[in-house]
Structure 1
Amino acid sequence: MSIDRGDIPPTRDSVPLGLRVSAALGWRFLVVVASLYVIGVIFGRLASLVVPLAIALLLAALLAPAVGFLMRHRFPRGVATVVVLIGGLAVLGGLLTFVVMTFVNGLPDLAAQLARSIDAVSGWLVNGPLQLSESQLRDFVDRIVKTLQDNQSGITSSAITTAATVGETLVEMLLVLFALAFFLYDGPKIWQFLIRVVPGGPRRRVDVAGRRSLAALVSYVRATGAVAVVDALGIGIGLAVLRVPLAVPLAALVFIGAFVPIFGAVVAGGVAVLIALVANGPVTAAILLIIVIAVNQLESHVLQPFLLGRAVKLHPLAVVLAIASGLLVAGIAGALLAVPLLAALNSAIRSLLSEADEHVAPADVRTSEPEESGPDEPGLDRESGEPLPG
């Protein structure tokens, strides 16, 4: 009796090994990409909620050491939270007021210098090697004016959109303050509530990983703040020595831009160089460019490796991709928040994969503030608050 080979279904061994491995990797890759896409879409739709919460989390990481300091000096947590919030708002409001007033006071001089620079450029175009006629320049200016008039409706609608954006920004700022107050006051309780959804077996590891990610976030915010101060002082002193107008607002811009790694300080320094070129000429701009490059090199090769250390060390490619992804999902705020959140996620994943952290108690992980008393103390069960045996 003969057997028709065509009637026998194919077995696993009949599929080439390379095809099986490629298929297994392929569908897993598609699942990961689809998951990341869905997460990106959700975050994009909820950006007005996610971004304020993320900013509040960063500010909480920055201000939590101050709350912990006051608590160690016998201040109640509520009083410490109120003092830190009011003090932080006072410092931030005073700094913004100083920067804005300095910018407004220096703006007329900059506008006058800009007009003189435009006249000098026009004279060079007429009398220089290009030998343009005044009628050609006048036609060029008329075209610019006509273009602005033709797009007046678009400019008006953009202004209305900007006004609506200002209203949304105010609402988001209130949400940041509201979330920040609760993160500072009830942070440990909120975390304990969140990890209750984790099954009992891996809950201890997840708790340790979360605390390590918080410690990494605190370290990142502290180190980035120190780097931003050094960048702002270095470039600000250069601006002051070279007598470039608006030195203080430009230094503040460098400070804010330094919180976006790689790109932020470069863009802010480029703005300062352009203003120096308009206000003081090419020689001053070239000197300032050298200062900006020197400060950026100091930041990249000395400050960041020394201050950030191994706890939040990220590959430059990962930083660039994180900033680009954050920019696509949530704009400038996404670019600002991408790297610190990536640092926290990186620390949490490393903790979950580390065999050494398997035997670490959550209370032994040093974060930015003292532990709450009660069921979270070492030696007490987290669910019942009863003493552990032994």
Structure 2
Amino acid sequence: MSRFQRVRDNLRRAYESGRESVRIARAERERQRDVEPEVEFAPPPPPDPLDNQSTTSRDDAEVPHALRIAAAWSWRLIVVGVVGWALLRFVGIISIVMIPLAIALLLSALLAPAVGWLLKLKVPRSLATFLVLICGLAAVAGTLTLVVNQFVDGLPNLTDKASDGIRQIQNWARTGPLHLSDAQVDKAIDQAQSWINANTSSLTSTGISTAATLAEILTGGLLVLFSTFFFLRDGRKIWRFLVRLFPVNARWSLSDAGDASWSTLGAYVRATVLVAFIDATGIGLALVILNVPFPFPLAALVFLGAFIPIVGASVSGAVAVLVALVDQGWVIALIVLGAVIAVQQLEGHVLQPLIMGRAVAIHPLVVIIGIASGVVVAGIIGALVSVPLIAVLNTAVRRLARRRPEIPPDAVVVTAEPPAS
């Protein structure tokens, strides 16, 4: 037999053995199919309540899902409330330190662009910060000196006009629609005098504690100066140090939220200063045209009051209206009131949206609630700090809620270290 015939026979035997094995396997499957009974597919068993990841026992599974969610939210809100209350208590205990630091942050946000401008001129950072701080102090001191001098010079005349105004009110109470008798008017005056005499002790105690209050004010002023200087000079280094205290995965988000919050605070403070200056200029011009006394001190009061949105401008404008009422009468007072309302409408509908923009846009209801809460917690300082604090927290929360941008898989990552050989 030739070699070719042997190869052909081997291939035939292999093919026949393969066919035989397939035939045997098919017969075995048919035999098993005939032996095993057919069963219908039963519905899947109901899920075990304990399989729910939000429950830990069968008793929890019996509680409605909505009630479990409400309870989970409730205890978390209680924890957050307790932490917030403890934080407020801690801030209240060290308020003599926190208030100057808050004022220093506001001043730093206001003066930071001036420091940056000097740095672009190649001025050393410490010298630039010192020059900006000194110029700011000189401007504030000059303004206060001018305001106090004008107020002291015109106070006697205003006192006489106020006495005349009180007498006119008494005459109006007797001859006007109230028709009060002299005895009733004298009784009201006696009650006011009795109230002053009854509160003499509290007034005296306040005067006795004036020395301690003055010491606290001086200490707080020095702390504001030093804090502002170091915030302007080393603010970036301080923030980086604080960010490094947190876990690595949270540093990027915190750094981004901090930068955005600082930009918001700076925009808010600078816009508030500009709006306050425009308000003071408008009302001051109206007072000068109407020959109302103390135009510059009242304009300065309007400027300071504008730092408390909505409420501050209204209160300072009311003071200007009262001064006009005492000195010039009802007609001039009504004209001043119209000027104040016009300036406030211009501020609310044009200046605030145009200057502040969307970066620090806060609903007026939130502003009112924040100012009221700030007054209850920390008085005038709380009213001053509450709105910028809300603006900063709004920006920070929005940034922290964003997702961190993911690096595409085909992106090229550049490192400072050379690749391993």
Is 1:247 matched up with 2:295? yes
The CA deviation at 1:136 is 4.7
Give the distance between the partners of 1:235 and 1:20, measured in 2 at CA.
58
Q: Partner of 1:208 in structure 2?
A: 256
Deviations 1:332-378 (A, max 9, x none): 111101111221221122122224x6479xxxxxxxxxxxxxxxxxx
Closer, same or farther in 2 for the Cα pair 1:12/1:257, shift >3 Å? Answer: same
Unaligned runs of 5+ in 2: 1-56, 408-412
- Aligned residue type for 2:401: L
**Superposed counterparts of 1:346-365, under 5 Å:** 346-355=394-403, 358=405
* Aligned residue among 60, 81, 84 for 2:129: 81
Larger Rg: 2
Q: Does 1:65 align with 2:113?
A: yes
1:258 aligned residue (306, 321, 325): 306
The more displaced of 178-187 and 30-39 is 30-39
User: What does 1:231-310 correspond to in 2, within 5 Å?
Assistant: 231-310=279-358
Asked if structure 2 preserves the Cα contact closer than 8 Å seen for 1:81 and 1:181, the reply is: yes
Residues 341 and 11 of structure 1: CA distance in aligned 2, closer, same or farther (over 3 Å) = same
Secondary structure, aligned partner of 1:37: helix
Q: Which residue does 1:188 correspond to in 2?
A: 236
- Give per-residue Cα distances to partners, 1:82-111, cap 9 Å, x unaligned: 111111111110011011111111111111
Q: Identify the match of residue 88 of structure 2 among 15, 33, 40.
A: 40
- Contact 1:235 / 1:292 at 8 angstroms: preserved in 2? yes
Higher relative contact order (CA 8 A, sep 6+): 1
Contact 1:43 1:329 in 2 (8 A): no
- Superposition TM-score, scaled by structure 2 size: 0.80
CA–CA distance in structure 2, aligned partners of residues 320 and 389 of structure 1: 57
How far has the Cα of 1:267 moved from its partner? 1.0
SS in 1 for 2:81: helix
Change (3 A) 1:69 1:161: same
Secondary structure of 1:197's counterpart equals coil
Q: Distance in 1 between matches of 2:405 and 2:309?
A: 33
Distance 1:389 1:248, change over 3 A: farther
Identify the match of residue 319 of structure 1 among 364, 367, 373: 367
Residues 1:325 and 1:140: Cα distance change in structure 2 (over 3 Å): closer
Q: Secondary structure at the match of 1:119?
A: helix
Cα pair distance change 1:139/1:28, threshold 3 Å: closer
Aligned to 1:370: none
1:52 is displaced (CA, Å) by 0.5
Partner of 1:364: none
Post-superposition CA distance 1:145-177 (Å, at most 9, x none): 344334322221122234432221111111100
Q: Which amino acid aligns with 2:258?
A: G
The structural deviation recorded for 1:186 is 1.1
CA distance in 2, matches of 1:188, 1:302: 34
Q: Which residue of 2 aligns with 1:112?
A: 160
Shift of 1:305: 0.9
Change (3 A) 1:139 1:25: closer
User: CA separation in 2, counterparts of 1:148 and 1:130?
Assistant: 25
* 2:71 alignment counterpart: 23
Question: Distance between the aligned counterparts of 1:298 and 1:48, measured in 2?
Answer: 37
Within 2, Cα distance between the matches of 1:102 and 1:164?
29
- Change in Cα spacing, 1:202 to 1:10, as seen in structure 2 (3 Å) is closer
> Whole-Å Cα distance in 2 between the matches of residues 359 and 53 of structure 1?
37
Q: CA offsets, 1:284-308, max 9 Å, x none? A: 1111111111111111111111111
Specify the alignment match of 1:219 in structure 2.
Answer: 267
Cα shift readout 1:181-227 (whole Å, capped 9, x = no counterpart): 11111111111111110111221221111111111111011111111
CA root-mean-square deviation:
2.2
Percent identity, aligned pairs only? 49
Query: Which residue is 2:377 aligned to?
Result: 329
Change (3 A) 1:197 1:163: same
Change (3 A) 1:319 1:149: closer
Which runs of 5 or more residues in structure 1 are unaligned?
1-8, 361-378, 382-386
Distance 1:222 1:258 in 2: 12
Q: Distance in 2 between matches of 1:339 and 1:130?
A: 43
Deviation at 1:388, TM superposition (A): 6.5
Once residues 234 and 254 of structure 2 are traced to their aligned partners in structure 1, the CA distance between those partners, rounded to angstroms, is 19
